[in-house]
Amino acid sequence: MRLVNLKHLLHESRGVQRHTMICIAALLLMFAFVPMRADVDDCSCDTEIKVMANLAICIGGTNYVVDVYGCKRVGVAPTYLPAVCGPFLQNQYTNITKVCFVGVRPIPINPAATFSAILCAWDPCRTPGIMGATVGIVPNSVYCWTIFYPKCVGVDNTTGCIVKCGDGCCIIARQWTRQFDGTCLLTRSDKCTVATTVCNDPCVQLDCVDPVCCN
């Protein structure tokens, strides 16, 4: 009986050790992929918010110019801020906190259409080199870019500005690839939402958009 009990205890001990190791590995993996709150959960910046781009955009066939405010990180390793919408390496993360039309603006300003137009302009296949984003010339070269913009915004048609309200955040992750014939194509696109919030009047809540681009 003692020998049988000893074997049984050793078997249980090995089982407990194995289970413990699996749990530790799972915890390490989980913490390795926890995004930084300052960059994801509230769509904010932990660096200085500034004009990132003076950008030509197209909405409904009409051209406009906007100043885009926020912050960006370039060449970020996935262990620093993991891809939120997909498991691919990111070349750039860009947070938009404010957009202001320069000169002529649509009346009324449609914030969803404005963010859609910005996504269209920030496309290294359509606009090579935009915001430093370039798809390499070697076949199968890729560029992955995740853009964060506020899900809850205030719109001032007098100043022409769209401003972040609350913590809601839309995330658009896209990947472009150089083809063997030299063409550049959008090969992956994901969108998701984090930290949904209730928008209080006069702020409005937006859907997370797929870009609808002018031809």
Residue range 181-201, pLDDT digits in tens: 999 999 988 888 776 667 888
Q: Is residue 214 part of a domain?
A: no
Q: Are residues 148 and 135 in the same domain?
A: yes
Q: Are residues 65 and 16 in the same domain?
A: no
Q: Are residues 68 and 4 in the same domain?
A: no
Q: Is residue 212 part of a domain?
A: no
Among the ranges given (18-32, 111-125, 155-169), the one the predictor scored with the smallest mean pLDDT = 18-32
Domain that holds residue 185: 37-205
Among the listed residues 182, 162, 176, the one whose alpha carbon sits nearest the alpha carbon of residue 122: 176
Q: Are residues 60 and 92 in the same domain?
A: yes
Using CA atoms, how far residue 66 sits from 29, 58, 62, 149, in Å, is 41, 10, 13, 15
Q: How far apart are the C-alpha atoms of 88 and 129, rounded to whole Å?
A: 21
> What is the model's pLDDT at position 85?
56
Q: Are residues 155 and 132 in the same domain?
A: yes
pLDDT band for 79, please (50, 70, 90 cuts): very low
Q: Are residues 28 and 78 in the same domain?
A: no
Q: How far apart are the C-alpha atoms of 176 and 169, rounded to whole Å?
A: 23
Q: How many domains does the chain have?
A: 2
Among the ranges given (5-9, 31-35, 50-54), the one the predictor scored with the smallest mean pLDDT = 31-35
In one letter, which amino acid is 135?
Answer: V
**pTM higher than 0.85, yes or no?**
no
Intra-chain end-to-end CA distance of the chain, in Å: 82
